Structure 1
């Protein structure tokens, strides 16, 4: 696939989605399936069985050479020195002021070979930032056009991928990855995902992605669109870049402090933004991203306001919607730190109406 900034982009599997009758939408410049059979049915298919997502719009940026680890360490908030071959980790990349460039997954493919998977709308921005900040340390190459990425998620996902790609895949740990063959195609299967369910994300050469997709469908997987992907990730309380996190928010404010390893500073391996985050931590946070449950039949949406007793705006909803598995409606919002404790009742204002929501701790849904 070739990216043309002047038109909608198509993944290598685009024509298969159209042929299947998927409702397609413009998603950040990509023509992507919103739904096939309906968001609720697709959500349930992933929670109860197995679904597959075309996430080929995500980007793959590779770091190679003797100083590849140093380059990655310079860029990420987490500590890639803890990785061994065949393992991956979630992380943030920050600007010097501590704002988030992107949230990513780093894969160690070898001692001089790392891959960072970035969000689709951020590929060009991230690549430019990576080269600016670490391009003198190693070779940095954008291979996003070379791969399709297929997410296989749900309680039956691991068994399906192992049936097609080999039983050795059942031994791959969480945030591990291994090679396999599916339908004669060389695939890298990473045990990662964005739904709250177990499963794999499959890196497939773009030119031969269709046989892998068709094999997964034949094995019983349901095709899933972006609509259900959003309800699934929200139930699992997974942040969406551009909504819940962006350049105006820090990982500490977003509840992602667990991927901020400030001890790298003491080891002489400062990452971009480390000093700003250390200062923010020392001063104390003034706001925090919280999860909430709506207490009545309303649904809070992105952009709704959190208001105080006098109606003054004190925060904003970043994500919100129905929670098909757990029931009711849930959401995420930035609020003053004094209102971030579980059990706190917030007032949401939306389209001239106000309704209550209760702050809750942790994911709304955890898989059994």
Structure 2
């Protein structure tokens, strides 16, 4: 796709008759493909504030998000040693309400929603009837509603599937992605920072539990949510309040902004898979290590028969693991992993690990090769480089 280029015409808005159709705005010519792309890309309400802080942006599932703010290594270290703030307003957010909301979601999702009391949350998956993943998600229970959060990669399908299968139940599913913002404080000092911001005492708040702060302009909700392996809390708030909350954190409290690059490094070292990257529509949840997203006691749910059959058999053919590589650069997604000359899996995502000082890949491997210490080879083009299966999270 081409960027805007100068043209001699002074027409305000004309369409070129050339085969590579373009639009002309004043002295600039734009390719139609570029215009369509830019019209489809969404920005969070913090985009201008992030740009003013030196934000460098990237496209991420139809969103333009901050990749880093000039020094991703420093952002990584800030989260490991102190506290940083992430703009996660692009995360998928759904509200499920009305009389049958609990029963409906309990029948659709893989974890136990029926016994989820107000103020608590759980991790779950939405599966196909064949037991494959449509989405992973977090569910937060309130007195009159349930909030769902997922990555942008799976939000369209999650919303579509949950909306489509409402037949006799009294349930409403609303897309609140652009109504609510999420600012995430991550790092060992995140609780102190979020308590100062909200005035709440959160010492007793367990993981995925949440606390509501009543406010005239719209309630804030604090969720104990570790996205990095370093501890953390999310603040959900009306999207129009996100810029002021950002200013209070970054400008007043001097909390460093952290971009997507550092988040990706940290979650990889913590062994946290992402949908659309490490797992997708062909993945069984057990292959991605998501047994904590499955209830073995609640009874039937969509895809449960396949899950039960695999678990009853007691054996998976493949599973997620981590491989460190003796190379200067991370391997490409999809790169083959071999042992004894045979293909045993492939890379799903990779980084250069700051803690290991070498590339680290998450990979789907044959289960007999998942034991830490197992020697493997990773394919780079026409050459193989030595690697080793390691345990995550990195300590």
Fold-level match, TM-score > 0.5?
yes
Partner of 1:47: 80
2:344 — aligned with what? Answer: 314
Structure 2 unaligned residues grouped into runs of 5+ = 1-36
Q: Name the residue aligned to 1:29.
A: 62
**Secondary structure of 1:121 counterpart:** coil
Q: TM-score, normalised by structure 1?
A: 0.91
Partner residue, 1:334: 364
Inter-partner Cα distance in structure 2 for 1:5 and 1:18: 17
Partner deviation per Cα, 1:126-161 (whole Å, 9 max, x = no partner): 101111234642121111110111111111111011
* CA–CA separation in structure 2 for the residues paired with 1:184 and 1:305: 52
Match of 1:226 in 2: 260
1:273 equivalent in alignment to 2:307: no
- Aligned: 1:176 with 2:209: yes
CA contact (8 A) 1:315 1:333 kept: yes
Cα distance in 1 between the residues matched to 2:206 and 2:309: 35
- Residues 67, 184 of structure 1: CA spacing in aligned structure 2 closer, same or farther, 3 A cutoff? closer
Query: Map of 1:8-87 to 2, 5 A cutoff?
Result: 8-87=41-120
Query: Which range moves more in the overlay, 334-343 or 247-256?
Result: 334-343
Cα contact 2:153–2:275 (8 A) shared by 1: no
Alignment-derived partner of residue 375 in structure 2: 345
CA distance in 1, matches of 2:175, 2:308: 31
Q: CA RMSD in A?
A: 2.1
Conserved in 1, the CA contact under 8 Å of 2:154 and 2:275? no
Q: Does 1:91 align with 2:124?
A: yes
- Aligned counterparts of 2:294 and 2:203: Cα–Cα separation in 1: 30
The alpha carbon displacement at 1:325 in A equals: 3.3
- Between the aligned partners of 1:84 and 1:189, the Cα distance in structure 2 is 16
Q: Report the secondary structure of 1:243's partner residue.
A: coil
Q: Does the Cα contact within 8 Å between 1:159 and 1:170 map onto a contact in 2?
A: no
Alignment of 1:249-288 (within 5 A): 249-265=283-299, 270-283=300-313, 284-288=315-319
Alpha-carbon distance in 2 for matches of 1:136, 1:51: 45
Among 153, 175, 178, the residue aligned to 1:121: 153
Match of 1:208 in 2: 241
How far apart, CA to CA, are the structure 2 residues paired with 1:181 and 1:139?
Answer: 24
Are 2:348 and 2:364, in contact at CA under 8 Å, matched by a contact in 1? yes
SS of residue matched to 1:279: helix
What do residues 294-324 of structure 1 show as CA deviations (whole Å, max 9, x unaligned)? 25655333221112433x4331101111221
SS of residue matched to 2:51? helix
Which of these residues, 335, 339, 342, is aligned with residue 304 of structure 1? 335
User: Do the aligned residues in 2 keep the contact of 1:106 with 1:117 (CA within 8 Å)?
Assistant: yes
Q: Give the structure 1 partner of residue 164 of structure 2.
A: 132
SS of aligned partner of 1:45: helix
Q: Which has the higher contact order (CA 8 A, sep 6+)?
A: 1
> Stretches of 4+ moved more than 6 A in 1?
181-185
* Alpha-carbon contact 1:104-1:117 (below 8 Å) kept: yes
Specify the SS of the correspondent of 2:330. Answer: coil
CA distance in 2, matches of 1:45, 1:279: 45
Q: Secondary structure at the match of 2:121?
A: strand
Query: Which structure 1 segments of 5+ residues have no match?
Result: none
Give the match's secondary structure for 2:340.
coil
Matched residue count: 356
More helix by share: 1
Q: Distance in 2 between matches of 1:293 and 1:24?
A: 28
CA distance in 1, matches of 2:358, 2:114: 42
Q: Is the 8 A contact 1:33 1:225 kept in 2?
A: yes
Find 2:142's aligned residue among 97, 109, 116: 109
Equivalent residues of 2:321, 2:365 under 8 A apart: yes
Which deviations, in whole Å up to 9, do the C-alpha atoms of 1:9-29 show, x marking residues without a partner? Answer: 011111111222211111111
Considering only CA atoms, is the larger Rg found in Structure 1 or Structure 2? Answer: 2
The 1-side partners of 2:151 and 2:367 are apart by: 28
Q: Deviations over 1:176-222 (max 9, x none)?
A: 11123799874211111311121211111111211101111121211
Q: Could you tell me the TM-score, scaled by structure 2's length?
A: 0.85
